[in-house]
Amino acid sequence: MQRRHLLTHFLASLMGGGLMGPISAFGYELTKSDAEWKKLLSPAAYDVLRHEGTEPPFTSPLNNEHRKGIFACAGCELNLYSSDTKFDSGTGWPSFWKPLDNAVLTKIDNSLFMTRTEVHCRRCGGHLGHVFDDGPRPTGLRYCMNGVAMTFTPATHTA
């Protein structure tokens, strides 16, 4: 099964990321048919998570979310980022300098006539955004995420 997962990512890279159509969920913990994903997700989340789309900058409410809490995958609810690693990158998309452990996978994206590193949910394979090497310390990374691909759960305070 691991070989098939690697082959899927290799073929997607060769085809330029989004040019292949919907992301194959084959090889991920959580798999659904394209029809199931379309029914489960909003049109915008479906486009981003399953077709590697990009939401317009400065449109996500999560861009201005500053409370303590957890950002999770909108497709499968896997916790992805802590608010402790969120920062204002000025790009118009929610940005983080580090994902939670075992939360995301990356692959090379050669679409749009450039090479970037694409970020996917480790559990369902949903496209989240891209990671760049122009972020703040301590990692120097900027995980530039589509807000529509995530949900936010504020931390609960107990006395």
Whole-number CA gyration radius for the chain: 15
What is the domain extent for residue 93?
2-154
Please spell the DSSP secondary structure of the chain, one letter per residue: -HHHHHHHHHHHHHTTGGGG-SPP-TTSSS---HHHHHHHS-HHHHHHHHH---PPTT--GGGG--SSEEEEETTT--EEEEGGGEE--SSSS-EES-PPTT-EEEEEE-GGGS-EEEEEETTT--EEEEEES---TTT--EEEE-GGGEEEEEPP---
Specify the pLDDT at position 84.
98
How many domains is the chain partitioned into structurally? 1
Q: Is residue 53 part of a domain?
A: yes
The answer to whether residues 41 and 49 touch, using CB atoms and an 8 Å cutoff, is yes
Q: Is residue 102 part of a domain?
A: yes
- The CATH number for 64's domain is 2.170.150.20
Specify the pLDDT at position 137.
95
Which residue out of 76, 121, 124, 144 is catalytically annotated? 144
User: Which whole number is the average pLDDT over 147-155?
Assistant: 98
Known active-site residue 73: no
pLDDT digits (tens, 9 = 90+) for 77-94: 999 999 999 999 999 999
Q: Is residue 150 part of a domain?
A: yes
Q: Is residue 144 part of a domain?
A: yes
pLDDT digits (tens, 9 = 90+) for 23-52: 444 578 999 999 999 999 999 999 999 999
pLDDT digits (tens, 9 = 90+) for 98-133: 999 999 999 998 887 889 999 999 999 999 999 999
Q: Is residue 159 part of a domain?
A: no
